[in-house]
Structure 1
Amino acid sequence: GGTGVYSYAWTGSGVSATSEDQSGLAAGSYSVIVTDANGCSTASLPVTITQPSAALSASATGESLICSGDADGNITLTVQGGTPTYTYSWKKTGDNVTVVSTAQNPSGLSAGTYNVLVTDSNGCTTTASATIVDGDGTDPVVTAPADYSLEGCDTSAIVGRVYSETLVDITSSYTGVGVVETGTGIASVKYSDSKSETTCPIVVTRTFTVTDNCGNIGTATQKISIVDTTAPVLTIPANAGIECTADITPGSLGMATATDNCDGDLTPTFTDGDCFGLENKKEVNAGQGIYQHFTISGMAGLGVNSIKDFTLTFETNQGIGRTEFILVSPNNGKGIVLVGTYCTGGNCEDNGTYSPTFSDNTGDPIWVNGISIGVGAGNFRPNGGPSPNLGSVNGLTSLVSSFEELTNGMTSLDGDWFVYAKKQVYENGNVRFISSCLTPALGESCAKNNIIIREWTVTDNCKNTSTGNQVIVISDTTAPVASGSITDTIIEGCTVEDAPDAVKTVAELEALTEGLSISDNCSDKADLKVSSSDEVSGTCPIVITRTYKVTDECANESLDIIHTIKINDTTDPTGTAPADIADLKDIANIPAADIEAVTDEADNCSAVTVTVNDTNNEGSGCSGDPYIVTRTYTLTDACGNDIDLVQTITVEADLVTVDAPEDVTECDSYMLLELINGAYFGATGGVNPIPVGTVITETTTIYVYAVSADNANCTAENSFLVTINALPVAPTGEDQTVCEESPIQTLTATATVPEGFSVVWYDAAIDGNVVESPTLSSFGSVTYYAESVNDATTCVSNSRTAITLTINPAPVAPTSGGDQTVCYNGLQTQTLTATATGGIITWYDAAIGGNVVTSPTQVGVGSVTYYAESSNETCSSLTRTAVTLTINPAPVAPTSGGNQTVCSNGSSTQTLTATATGGTISWFDAQIGGNMVISPTQVGVGTSTYYAQSSNGTCSSLTRTAVTLTINPAPVAPISGGDQTVCTDGSSTQTLTATATGGIITW
């Protein structure tokens, strides 16, 4: 009610005396009087603020979790005081945003400290905190049983707790597994296995897993190694005695077999050698020495009881004189010093690796440590001398000087052999045994006999190895074989003494004929021996039957090889025929035959008889066809050998000759040339004469004919073919004119001729030079001339066809009128137009290809690039000039910081400053145009309006935002109505009222 505006007069502690509304007051009694604009007032209005009897308070208690990570914790909250009802907001320390519960007593909580804000119905608040302690999170401590190894082939070898790749529960009995659990107790004990990819050994990793009642897990591992140390069982094929040509492969002589406890059947391998021994690098000591044993087996019953040679390999860096090696046989303990005797100084100090081969060959030197011995291989006889170690070597009873003595009395080399080696003294450096090998010797009667010591080896997957020897003795009992036969030999001669000597070698024997081949299963041809014997019969021819025999190195003799040699007189008698007669013109002038005309008759073996016979060739007697008599005198000896002596008698008239022109092929025509002999005719036999100089225009045969002046029956004639080919027509073709491209193109002149014709290009219409490549690859013009050629006749056209090639230069690209970039002016029709100069301009929407653009413009906000191409009405520019048009959008007007209106504070420097946001702000003193204002302020009483324009660094906003600043003047203080002082009138309602004038008065 009343008439506004109202004023307020509050009483009470802490009030704002003239404010309509009060806040932040304590409990107590307050009163207010409200006065309207007309000075009408209300009575004093009492207001009482009460408060609860007790302040709001809260306390909270949290319970501990059983297992770490659980979320089943509870908090009990007790609230006192304040004004019910209460609300609750629980948050967890570390997260002041998320409300986890609004219940008084929250549940389902994880470990942590929780803070609650309790609010009563009056908005009063208090806080409390409670902590939920985390539960058991400690893993059990597990100790696995000790690692161990066992013999076996796979995981089935593990007994007790068997191998399992899936978890096995042993909670009820986990003897051997140590467990320390400090929490909630053991829930389970389990193990699982895994095995290595390697198999030797197979390593099983057994993982024991212990889980407590809170799911905490402890593990420990045990390693179980499954090893296979059992060598395979090897069965060796029987020893064999074979011919040298026999198949020595296991397919013929037997394949060793092997079985293994883990790998089943295995396939043994073998190596062939000719000796028994071992490779076992070992240091030789100076104490008891070393024993290197090797076994010879499989020799019994083979008749092999002697040594061919023995190879030893050793090295020393202490001096060769410090070393001794003794070979000891199973023949009653006999031994032989191979390397010795001990010595010092000189050659005894030599070092190196030595590989001597020892034998009883008397041509080899005896090994003596003190002589100069080269390192590496070499042939020697054993030292064969005494040894200071005799009597201290176990198994050595006596020493001999040769291998023959060493094996004397042995029926077989089978048995246990060993090499004993010892250094002379203890010194720095070493002597090392590396290897040795003993080669048995077969019988001396046949050098081709041989022995193979086949060492079989089998190794299982774990490298356990077994070896054994199969002995194969190769002997030769087969005679040489002759295939084919010797072709009879017929030689010229009169007596047996003319026969060739018998050959002595197989090579010479095979060389007697191509059909004979001699071979032996064991011996080389060069090692075969040849013998022979002869028997003689007959006279003409004399026949010698020669019998050859071939013997191999083992005395095996071949069957007879027969060579028949026939000595025959096949030589013709000799003599001299009468001289030929060649100057007769008439057959009637030929003389009669006369055997007395033959001279110098002779024969290599007997007398000669002479007979005669005439024949003729039935010739005409004309030149070129003479009449020839062949008069044959035959001389014959006693063996029927004869010889014909020929006398030739020739009758020939004078020669008639005519020219023989070559065939002629011409284009268009041919003129007959002068002749030396004969004349031209149109037909054979001198028919249809043709004069010299006649021009032939069609293909025809021309004859040249003449008659002998001495004999009308003797003529001569030749002919030749004149071929006339037609001339081809000139080629057809078109000129080529193009504009320049980039890179500049190449034009090639073309012309068309019929099939079977070719085009030849020239640089002139007549004569000129042949042009291989009629092209143009630069600015300008060139003319080439095409001539037609018949591929079959090579005739050319009478004229040439001109073809002109022209490449016109392209104009330069236009000159850009410049890229254009402006800011949007607010008009949707705002337009930019691309410009360029230089020739006739055509605009495109792409640098290459693209579409023609009639109007290269940008209308409204946006950006576009056009491409200008120039033309000179013949060619266009090779490149286009890009011109970009851009209308950038104007930013929006700034957002005003708000108009500001305040009352003067009485200071002349009181200042208001205009504010606005959005981009870079510039201030002006007018809505449009005007002046830029650096400091948009109002100082002191007054009003100013400023205008804010935003910029994005490129364009400015199209409108400006107005901001008004106002400082209103303060009114003058009221004029007091006067102090009032009166005396009480005795009434309890006596009232004085203060008065003042000047505006709206607030007391």
Structure 2
Amino acid sequence: MGVGPHAILCTASDCSGNSTQCTFYVFVQDTNPPSITCPTNITIQCGDSTSPTNTGMATAHDVCDSNPRVTYSDAYSGDCPKTLTRTWIATDYNGNTNTCPQIITIQDTNPPSITVPASRTVQCFGDVPAADSSTSGASDTCGPASRTFVGDTYQTNGCVITITRTYRATDACGNTNTATQTITIQDTNKPSITAPAGTTVQCFGDIPAPDTNAVVASDNCGTPTKSFVSDTYATNGCVITVTRTYKATDFCGNYNTDTQTITVQDTNRPSITAPAPVSVQCFGNIPAPDTNAVTASDNCGTVTKSFVRDTYATNGCVITITRTYRATDACGNYNTDNQTITVQDTNKPSITAPGPVTVQCFGNIPAPDTNAVVASDNCSTPTKSFVGDTYATNGCVINVTRTYKATDRCGNFNTDTQTITVQDTNKPSITPPGPVTVQCFGNIPAPDTNAVTASDNCGSVTKSLVGDTYATNGCVITVTRTYKATDRCGNYATTNQTITVQDTNKPTIMCPTNIVQAAPSNQCTAIVNYTVTAADNCGNVTLVCTPPPGSAFPVGTTTVNCKATDACSNSASCSFTVTVYSPTNSLPPPNPLPACDTSMNTLTGPPGFATYSWSIISSTGPNWAITSGTNSQTVTYTAGSSGSATFQLIVTTASGCRFVYQVTFACNAGGSTPGFWGNKNGQALLTSADFTALNTLCLRTGDGSDRDFKSTLSKNKSDFAAWLQARTAVNMSYMLSSHLAAMKLNVLHGFASPAKVVPIGGCGNLNGGNSITIADLITFANNALCADGYTPSQDPNRTLQECYKNALANANGNTVHP
């Protein structure tokens, strides 16, 4: 029944046509909310549409409302990101509601835009403009943004300095963008310069030295460098004119020059100074005469210096040499001076040890090597020797002091030391295990220092785990595992192993096989429960089936779609069908049975249905027909001349549900039934042996179960009569069983011969489709019952069983009533 009130009218009639009625009401109320399925959670950028056409639409289903209304409400929270919680609401036409949430994450990951001042070129560093401190110059599509000065970097190429000035734009969510301004510093202006005033001197040696302090110079970008360039000479008799050039150069190489004039006129005699006294250790050290060491000058010209002679005076080991030099000017004027040279050997030999050495390991200390020692003596070749090593330890540093000795022929000696520092500063080498990819977090391998390769130049290495760090990108976790190798001096090196955790496996899902289930009697739907299993390698699985278990499935075939989704959105699906059918219901046969060849017989169907449709779907005798009431609860029919007929009633409810009722019965031939069944006291003739024989057959009931008679004789008789009277063609196996039992009793009591040949009427071309013995007919019919005990209208074995039933019915006289 549909939702709402329904009036039920009941009528009771007796055989005389008297009747009475009563009415009651059935109220059907829908209190079940519709089912609703939300779209999946989604992440969008700010500015994207939040309309369900972009983010997904919920779907709803209701048993009583084919089109439940779906609405939603939104609530925002947070800023970066902003969370939109969308609550979907499904409402059926009776006001029942159901909700589910959808989470829409609105994030801003786009950087803002930025503009900076234009690039420019200046002459000097002091001309560089200050950074622009204003916050303008930044914009963002999702909200406010501000610009800040980050810093300047400098790059020098010769005298050109390029300043890269960086600004940063930051939006409200912390997204940033940078841009740069280029400022070029390049000095192209020459400095200014003024040389000292001109001057006159008597002698060439009186010419003043170049004096840049007397030069005045300036530059637009700083202090220039003043330098003397050169003197040029012009001679006119005894007059020499000196032109002195000065130069001013700025930092970038721009320069300018100016000159000073100096006039030289010489009238004085030359002067001379011999070299200073000298003391030497050995006779071989006496220097050769060196006029270059003589100082001589003349105010007016060039002086010629010459060696005159040496004179010797010996006092023990001391030799005194007097050396005379002469200076002569261009006019022949001269002067002399003496140098004293004393020869006396008192010096120790000199020695220089090899330079300091630093080695990494104690085993790298070199052996003593006198060939690397440099030693000399003023008077002879000294002897070099190794004295010894001393050691001083400071932490992991060992200082070795190595002493060498040089001795001359007179026993004078000298020593020198070489410093050898032993200090291990090299880090060990370390190689991590190779990168690993695992499916689940629980699959991450434990740290294993045995898998780390490490070595050191000076000895053993200690390997240790530093720790793991984690970086998450969506459902991918990157584990950076750091190992450390440390040598005995505390030098260490680290290395990283990368472990990637990424679940790429779909969950497993298993649907049941297709389900076929009968609806309860007179019901449009059937509650169907089923079990779908799902599992995942890394944890929990979300399982969604539509329709869910326990749903009311309508008559017909419905596809159930199931989806299993793990935490990383890997998913697997399966489907199966649920077929709900409405079973054929039985109507009771008329009691008493109608007489053959009679009209105005009636059959009445169940009350309360919206439509009725009667038909005769089969008959074993002629003249069975419906005369009126085909579409009414009560139908009027004519019983045939013989045999039986199967009546079918199809009814529908106001909501469109369809049900089928069937009944099969024979007409009463008025006592003309032959054999065992022609005796009105046939039931009284039944014996225990008869029931023993019946129990050898595969007799069936209305639901297809076995029917045997193993009680007391009286109980068997009453059960047998009830079984025969309740027979129905809804299950053709039940109808065939009743006719088979009748023929078995006719044979047992001598009313039928097993060898008698009777018509077969086709039955799958058995015996050519013509005739068969009663013994073979009993055997074939029983075999059919043993093979299939339930043959409703859709069963493929029903046709053969019905053919056997008709052949037995004709042979039994078309009745099985006792």
Q: TM-score range by the shorter chain?
A: under 0.3
Q: Greater CA radius of gyration, 1 or 2? A: 1
What is the TM-score of this pair, normalised by structure 1? 0.22
What is the TM-score of this pair, normalised by structure 2? 0.26
Larger helix proportion, structure 1 or 2?
A: 2
